[in-house]
């Protein structure tokens, strides 16, 4: 392949006289994905120019021309009229500076980059973009949690089987199941708020690796751009992509929770369970079997969790062997960051849509209950009569065995049959075989009684503020 593209028109091209392999040009370019950072790059450049004005590098007239020109460039991006020049606009920084020079002249535009490196630019742009996008994700997550809290409150009377090992275990409230995931997502919300604080630190003014030689006011720039503080080491700051990896770690944890939540709903929506019915808006049909209604929304949520985890594994594999300061490998942090944020954001909103439109089938939930699920209640009954739990557990197991041997539902075993197993059973043992009573007995904080679940809803709502 011919290598005839001159390098002199690149920001870094002064010492290069040979041509560039066209494939290398394309391989090196990031403009077709990092152009999404155009607004952040413009704002960062204006803040940098203002700081250089304060430091005497720019005159007031030069700064005004640069600021006006950069705002004009941003208007082109916003309007969709910005024209990327292939092979010239290597990245968003190059593209914006090239266009600025065309608007205000290269002599003044050329002063913008004084003391500045693209190493600090891209780190600044990424942090600003990510900070703003994470705040959107925070809003999405708060909205989703609001739906969980409202449904848990309004459907608190529905009783269903609770499962361990996918086997019927004990009666619970449907709302208790919702709140179990609600608090997982609420923990994700807490973690997100902490991550945003660490993302929102400014690297602007760090230079290529050694710092800025013109005494630039980094705190002033950070304040203008909405950062909560600055990064304190120039070498570490330009090389740092931990903030991207941490966001992906956070997003992967959230997606694990969404995936498990989706899996439960997939199971509950099957004909064998029938606890819930998905809205047509979040289902698809079969190309062969007209009776099918597939939970594709939930399956995609489950599947995209793997995609999210792949982002963080890929990035951390890239980072693990890099020497200090900036290396071109770090360009590989941008695309997965963009895709990760989009994937997670879309997933939260799809999950909210599914839950908002989900139809519950409380009669199916109650029909799935069976007397064996009250075996622990039977043991607890004897505990209240002073029998050690290890003994009551064995006695209750014998009752289960008798039920299976005789084919008699456990709730229909006669008083004489129960008395024959253990004389300490009284006639009030009949009260045990009541599902509503069973859930109401779990009244300690965090349990599945009505009051406890409603208390959980109250706690969750407070976490959203």
Residues tagged active-site: 165, 286
- How many Cβ atoms are within 10 Å of 217's Cβ, its own excluded? 17
Return the structure tokens found at 349: 């909103």
30 vs 26: CA distance, rounded Å: 8
Which tokens in the block code for residue 102? 């065309």
Q: Which residues of 93-102 are buried (b: 16+ CB within 10 A; e: fewer)?
A: bbbbbbbbbe
DSSP label at residue 294 = B
| Cβ atoms of residues 326 and 119 within 8 Å | yes
Rounded Cα distance between 400 and 412, Å, is 12
* Residue whose tokens read 């004005």: 53
- DSSP-derived 3-state class of residue 383: helix
234 vs 113: CA distance, rounded Å: 17
Burial of 87 per CB tally in 10 Å (0-12, 13-18, 19+): middle
Q: Specify whether the CB–CB gap between 246 and 319 falls below 8 A.
A: no
Report how far apart, in Å, the C-alpha atoms of 147 and of each of 52, 64, 153, 182, 410 are: 49, 49, 10, 10, 38
DSSP-based three-state secondary structure for 120 = helix
Per-residue tokens: 340: 């990760």
């Amino acid at each position: 392949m011919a290598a005839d593209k001159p390098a002199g028109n690149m920001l870094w091209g002064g010492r290069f006289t040979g041509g560039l392999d066209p494939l290398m040009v394309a391989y090196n370019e990031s403009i077709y994905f990092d152009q999404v950072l155009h607004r952040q790059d413009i704002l960062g450049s204006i803040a940098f120019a203002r700081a250089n004005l304060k430091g005497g590098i720019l005159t007031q007239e030069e700064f005004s021309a640069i600021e006006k020109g950069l705002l004009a460039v941003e208007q082109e991006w916003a309007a969709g009229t910005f024209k990327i020049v292939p092979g010239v606009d290597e990245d968003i920084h190059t593209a914006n500076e090239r266009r600025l020079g065309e608007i205000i002249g290269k002599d003044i535009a050329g002063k913008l980059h004084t003391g500045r490196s693209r190493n600090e630019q891209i780190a600044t742009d990424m942090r600003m973009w990510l900070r703003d996008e994470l705040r959107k994700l925070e809003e999405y997550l708060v909205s989703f949690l609001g739906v969980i809290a409202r449904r848990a409150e309004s459907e608190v009377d529905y009783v269903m089987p609770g499962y361990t090992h996918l086997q019927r275990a004990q009666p619970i409230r449907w709302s208790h199941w919702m709140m179990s995931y609600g608090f997982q997502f609420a923990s994700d919300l807490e973690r997100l708020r902490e991550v945003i604080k660490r993302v929102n630190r400014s690297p602007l003014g760090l230079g290529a690796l050694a710092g800025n030689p013109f005494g630039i006011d980094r705190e002033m720039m950070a304040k203008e751009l909405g950062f909560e503080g600055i990064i304190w080491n120039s070498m570490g700051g330009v090389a740092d992509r931990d903030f991207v990896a941490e966001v992906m770690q956070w997003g992967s944890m959230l997606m694990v929770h969404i995936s498990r939540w989706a899996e439960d709903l997939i199971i509950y929506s099957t004909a064998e369970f029938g606890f819930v019915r998905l809205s047509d808006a979040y289902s698809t049909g079969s190309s062969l079997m007209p009776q099918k209604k597939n939970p594709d929304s939930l399956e995609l949520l489950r599947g995209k969790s793997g995609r999210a985890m792949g982002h963080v594994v890929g990035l951390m594999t890239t980072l693990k062997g890099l020497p200090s300061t900036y290396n071109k490998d770090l360009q590989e942090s941008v695309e997965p960051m963009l895709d990760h944020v989009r994937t997670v954001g879309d997933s939260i909103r799809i999950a909210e849509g599914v839950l908002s439109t989900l139809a519950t089938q409380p009669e199916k939930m109650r029909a799935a209950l069976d007397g064996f699920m009250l075996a622990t209640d039977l043991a607890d009954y004897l505990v209240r009569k002073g029998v050690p739990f290890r003994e009551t557990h064995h006695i209750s197991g014998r009752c289960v065995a008798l039920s299976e041997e005789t084919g008699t539902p456990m709730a229909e075993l006669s008083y004489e049959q129960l008395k024959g197993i253990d004389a300490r059973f009284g006639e009030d043992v009949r009260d045990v075989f009541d599902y509503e009573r069973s859930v109401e007995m779990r009244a300690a904080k965090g349990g599945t009684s009505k009051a406890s679940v409603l208390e959980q809803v109250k706690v969750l709502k407070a976490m959203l503020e």
